[in-house]
Each structure stands twice: as structure tokens, then as C-alpha cells.
Amino acid sequence: MGCVMSTDGQALSSVIRKDRSDLYKSPGVGDREDWRLPLDAWQRFYLQKSWKTVARKSDQAARTVFLRMLQDNPGLRQKWPRISLLTEEEIPTSPYIKFLGERIFDCLDYIIDNLGDLDHVISELTKLGRQHSDMNVMTPEDVWAIEAAFLAGVQECLEDRFTIKYEEIYSRFIVFVIETMVIGFDPH
């Protein structure tokens, strides 16, 4: 009897230990929830949480991203008459640059909010890529131009919270967005 009790006791305590270790283990670390999204559960959590700070400063961030992208890729300016007509001095205060930056940030906000529904997110990003492709001046390389500028914009918002951990999370996220948009550039 005692033996049975002790066996049950051991079994029970090992269940409790297992449950507790599962509790303390970071769920999903290193494991993608879905192979199509290059983030694990914790990275998605930290992205969604920190994005609230970025979104609060999205006016400033969007402008920084667009300015940085145009500075680093001067060839981009020539592709759109509405941008190429602006002087260097006019760019930072241009309502059109503000409009473009806001479109991008509103869209990223929507994507981050809906990462739980990847089918929908991927379909929207592919469609968006197709819209950019249909402008007939944009190439996939032009979309990649936003990668470094986006990270600079996020860093500006998160300031010293933008550690290597967040750099990796945001980098994985923007690469996912760009790669998915670029799929929409395929002949259609």
C-alpha cells in the first residue's frame, strides 16, 4: 500500500514538476508558431507590445523612415514627379512625404495587429506588392530600400529600449513584410 502511495506520489510530483517547468519555460522560444512568420511566440509578443510605443510616435517615425530612405537611395526620388520636384529643404515638411509615411505606418500597424491571421496578412501584403508593382516604376529593390530606414525609425522611437533583441525582432519582421510584398511583383 505504502509502495503504491509512494509511486502515486512520485507520479504526481513529477507531473507537478513537469507542469511547473512548462510554466517557466519560455513558450515557443526558438519555435516558430507558423513557418511562414520568422518570429517565435515571444518575439511576436515583444513586437506587438513595443509597437504601441512606435505607433504613438508614428508621425515622427514615418517621416524619419521616408527621409532616411530617400537620402540613402537618391535614385528613388527621380521615380516620382511629386517627390523629385521637392527640394532637399522642402522634403522634411512636405505634406506628400507625410502622407506616404502615414500610409506605410498605418499598413504596418494593421499587419502587426493581425499577425494571428497569417493567411489574411500574407494575402494583403502580396496585394500591396502588386499595387506597387503596378505603379510601373517600382522594382523589388526599391521596396528593399525601406529595410534599413525602417529600423532607424523604430530605433528613434524606442531609444535605449532598442537592444539587439529588438533589432533582431524588427529586422525579422520587416524582412517578412518586404519578402511577402515582393512576391506580389511576380508577373500576374
Residues in contact with ligand HEM by the rule CB under 6 A: 76, 80, 100, 103-104, 107-108, 128, 131-132, 142-143, 145-146, 177
Residue 43 or 180 with smaller CB distance to ligand HEM: 180
**Is the separation of the CB atoms in 40 and 32 below 8 Å?**
yes
Residue 55 or 107 with smaller CB distance to ligand HEM: 107
- How large is the angle between the packed helices 41-56 and 95-113, nearest 10 degrees? 150
Residue 105 or 162 with smaller CB distance to ligand HEM: 105
Residue 115 or 145 with smaller CB distance to ligand HEM: 145
Residue 76 or 158 with smaller CB distance to ligand HEM: 76
Instruction: Assign 50 to helix, strand or coil.
Output: helix
Least separation, in Å, of the C-beta of 175 and ligand HEM?
Answer: 10
Least separation, in Å, of the C-beta of 48 and ligand HEM?
Answer: 17
Residue 146, beta-bridge partner list: none
**Is the separation of the CB atoms in 170 and 154 below 8 Å?**
yes
- Report the C-alpha gap between 30 and 75 in whole angstroms: 39
Take residue 100 and report the three cell numbers written for it: 506616404
Take residue 99 and report the three cell numbers written for it: 502622407
Residue 34 or 134 with smaller CB distance to ligand HEM: 134
Query: How far are the Cα atoms of 95, 132, 141, 143, 188 from residue 178, in angstroms, in the given order?
Result: 25, 12, 10, 7, 18
**Is the separation of the CB atoms in 146 and 174 below 8 Å?**
yes
Least separation, in Å, of the C-beta of 85 and ligand HEM?
Answer: 13
Least separation, in Å, of the C-beta of 67 and ligand HEM?
Answer: 12
User: How many Cβ atoms are within 10 Å of 160's Cβ, its own excluded?
Assistant: 6
